Amino acid sequence: MSMASRAVRQRAIAEMFRDVERRWGNLDKLLRPDLRVERSAALSTQSLRRLFALETLALVIPNFVQRPEPLADAIQQAGETARNWSVTSARGMESSDVKAVGGTPYNMAVSMGDTERYFAEDVPSAKKWVRSLPGGDALDRLRCDLDDAWPGGCSSKKSDEGRAHHIGLGRVMAGPTQWSRGFVHVDELAPMSPTKGHFSANLYLKLPSEGGHLELWPLQFESRWEFYTNAHTLSKLVSIDEGAQRELRARLPPPIVLEVAPGDLVLLSVQRPHAVQGWSSSCSRASLQSFVNFAGDDAALTLEA
C-alpha cells in the first residue's frame, strides 16, 4: 500500500470514529464525580483494595520519604548526563520533557533490541546505584511495605525466564516544560477493571516553585462499547500532537488538582487521564517512579519501571 493510499485510509477510519462518537458517544457518562483522593499515614490492605477496585482516584501517603532533599539532589545531578529518550509525533522524533535516571526503561531496551544487557547489566547496576544514594532505600521500602500490606505479597516483575525487572527508576523533568498546561495522557489505553489493572507509584522528591502538581480526571470506561463509541476522543490520550492536546482539554471537564509535597508517595491508575502541570521557569522536578501491576485480590503485586 502506498503512503498516499495509507493516508486516505487513515482519514476514512478517523472520520468513521468521529461519526460513531457523534452518534453514540457520551464522555459525560464515563465520568465518576464521586471519586476522591484518599490520604493515609501508611499503606494498608484496605486502602490498596479501594484503589485497585477503582473506588478512589488516588492514594497519597504523605512524608513517605522523610528527608527527600539529598535524594532529589543526587537524582537531579545524575539527570544532567542521563539520556533524554525521543518520542514519536506527527513532526517526527522529538525529545520528551522527562529523563529516566539510573537505568534504561524496559520498553526502550526492547525497542533497541538490547534486552540481554538490560537484564544482565542494567538492572543490577541500577539497583546498586540507587541504594548508594542518601535515602536510596526508598524503592526497597516501597516494595517491602506493599509486600506487607498486600495479602498476595509484592515483588519485582519477572521475565519468562525468571529474571527481575527494575522496580523503579529516577525521573527528572526540567523546565520550562514543553507543555505549558501539562500533557494529558494515559499510560495504557484499555478498558478498566476492578479485577486487574496498572498503577503508578511516584515518590515526589523535588517540585518546581510553580506548577509540577498532578491533574486527574475521574474518567472510567469498562467495556469495549464505551471505548469504541468515544474512541475519537479517547485515542488522543496516547498522542503527543498539539492539536490532540487542545481537543482533549476542550472535551474533558476541569481536572481535579492534587497538590503534592516533597516526600509524598502517590499511587494512581495509569489508565485514567492524568497530567503534570507545566511550568515556565528553569526549575526541575525530581522523583522516583515505579509501576504496580495488579492481577487480582489473590495474586501478588509486581513492580516494574
The pLDDT value given to residue 96:
63
- At residue 12, the 3 state secondary structure works out as helix
With CA atoms as reference, report the closest residue to 278 among 252, 242, 304, 247.
Answer: 242
Q: What is the spatial distance between Cα 57 and Cα 274, in angstroms, rounded to a whole number?
A: 11
Task: Name the grid cell of 97.
Answer: 520533557
Q: What is the spatial distance between Cα 233 and Cα 31, in angstroms, rounded to a whole number?
A: 14
CA angle 285, 187, 89 (to 5 degrees): 85
pLDDT tens-digit profile, the chain (305 residues): 666 667 667 777 778 878 899 999 999 999 999 999 999 999 999 999 999 999 999 999 999 999 999 999 999 999 888 766 544 444 333 346 789 999 999 999 999 999 999 999 999 999 999 999 999 999 999 999 999 999 999 999 999 999 999 999 999 999 999 999 999 999 999 999 999 999 999 999 999 999 999 999 999 999 999 999 999 999 999 998 999 999 999 999 999 999 999 999 999 999 999 999 999 999 999 999 999 999 999 999 999 99
What kind and span of H or E run contains 301? strand 301-304
The pLDDT value given to residue 90:
41
- At residue 30, the 3 state secondary structure works out as helix
Q: What is the spatial distance between Cα 305 and Cα 117, in angstroms, rounded to a whole number?
A: 16
CATH architecture of 3-304: Sandwich (2.60)
Q: Please tell me the pTM assigned to this model.
A: 0.92
The pLDDT value given to residue 255:
97
Q: What is the spatial distance between Cα 276 and Cα 196, in angstroms, rounded to a whole number?
A: 25
Q: What is the spatial distance between Cα 24 and Cα 69, in angstroms, rounded to a whole number?
A: 50
C-alpha count within 13 angstroms, C-beta hemisphere, residue 162: 0
